[in-house]
């Protein structure tokens, strides 16, 4: 059994065990995220967060910058203006909740952690802000290192690989080494499904997911309602819950420790059932 299956995350003094996989609920405080039902206004945020926590989410991931392919760029101040009130509102209602902030900007990360967030989820894996790694290491919070090439505006033109799995692992390894040299304790690996990858590449990557155990770090999977699912099935994102559960189950069988999802209850059920299969 790899060390990643025994990993514990230190979330500002609270030790969160990952012996069993956990769920991260997606809360988008954006007007243009690809799945319309995940767009949450400031007035809805507390109710939606409460339902996710009730359904079994361990983490809530707040995003103020849409990273769907071709999404519009916004300023750091706009991102902060979306994220910080959401952090305040959720922590006021649920003081014990564990909030992650989905940002690739060091300044936003710092302000989010100072406001009470306990994790940073960086879709760019440190490639879009040279200050991100030093910032996160100094803050001492877990960091989700995701693989992406380019920017959300250009990533879908950067899908050429010599060997998909090897290239993704090599590119992540460079960033992991930088983080470890800075003393970053908790690193979470996200292969970056849908980011600079075609649907066919996403399926290939998922099939080879167990190779990412070589990092000896927890693996986070973000496949929820993505176009890889609904384009393959010729449906819409609204209809992609069943497909999400299917791919999440495969990811769990191949070693995923964190499922980042729009639908928490179904992900929790997938974890329970998959755990029973593995146990028996």
- Integer Cα distance of 153 and 13 in angstroms: 37
Q: Which listed residue (260, 265, 278, 279) is catalytic?
A: 260
* Known catalytic residue at 254: no
Q: Which listed residue (82, 105, 226, 257) is catalytic?
A: 226
Q: If phi over 0 gives left and psi between -120 and 50 gives alpha, with beta otherwise, what is residue 150?
A: left
- Integer Cα distance of 259 and 247 in angstroms: 11
* Known catalytic residue at 260: yes
Residue 187 pairs in a beta bridge with: 143
- Integer Cα distance of 98 and 109 in angstroms: 15
Q: For residue 274, what are its two tokens?
A: 């998959």
- Integer Cα distance of 186 and 9 in angstroms: 6
Q: Please, which residues have CB within 8 angstroms of residue 264's CB and are 6 or more apart in sequence?
A: 23, 25, 51, 52, 55, 56, 57
Angle at Cα 276 formed by Cα 273 and Cα 277, nearest 5°? 90
Catalytic residues: 226, 260
């Amino acid at each position: 059994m790899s060390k990643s299956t025994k990993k514990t995350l230190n979330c500002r003094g609270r030790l969160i065990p990952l012996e069993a996989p956990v769920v991260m609920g997606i809360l988008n405080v954006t007007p243009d995220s690809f799945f319309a039902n995940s767009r949450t206004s400031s007035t809805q945020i507390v109710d939606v967060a409460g339902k996710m926590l009730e359904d079994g989410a361990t983490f809530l991931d707040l995003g103020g910058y849409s990273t769907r392919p071709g999404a519009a760029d916004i300023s750091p101040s706009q991102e902060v203006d979306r994220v910080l009130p959401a952090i305040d509102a959720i922590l006021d209602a649920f003081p014990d909740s564990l909030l992650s902030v989905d940002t690739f900007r060091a300044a936003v990360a710092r302000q989010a952690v100072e406001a009470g967030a306990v994790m940073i989820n960086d879709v760019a894996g440190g490639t879009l802000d040279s200050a991100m790694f030093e910032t996160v290491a100094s803050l001492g919070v877990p960091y989700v290192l995701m693989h992406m090439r380019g920017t959300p505006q250009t990533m879908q033109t950067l899908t050429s690989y010599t060997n998909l799995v090897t290239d993704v692992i090599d590119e992540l390894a460079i960033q992991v080494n930088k983080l470890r040299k800075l003393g970053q304790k908790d690193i979470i690996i996200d292969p970056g499904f849908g980011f600079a990858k075609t649907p066919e590449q996403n399926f290939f990557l998922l099939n080879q997911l167990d190779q990412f155990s070589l990092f000896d770090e927890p693996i986070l999977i973000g496949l929820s309602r993505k176009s890889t699912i609904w384009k393959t099935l010729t449906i819409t994102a609204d209809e992609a819950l069943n497909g999400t559960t299917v791919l999440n189950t495969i990811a769990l069988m191949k070693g995923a420790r964190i499922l980042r999802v729009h639908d928490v209850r179904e992900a929790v059920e997938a974890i329970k059932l998959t755990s029973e299969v593995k146990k028996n």
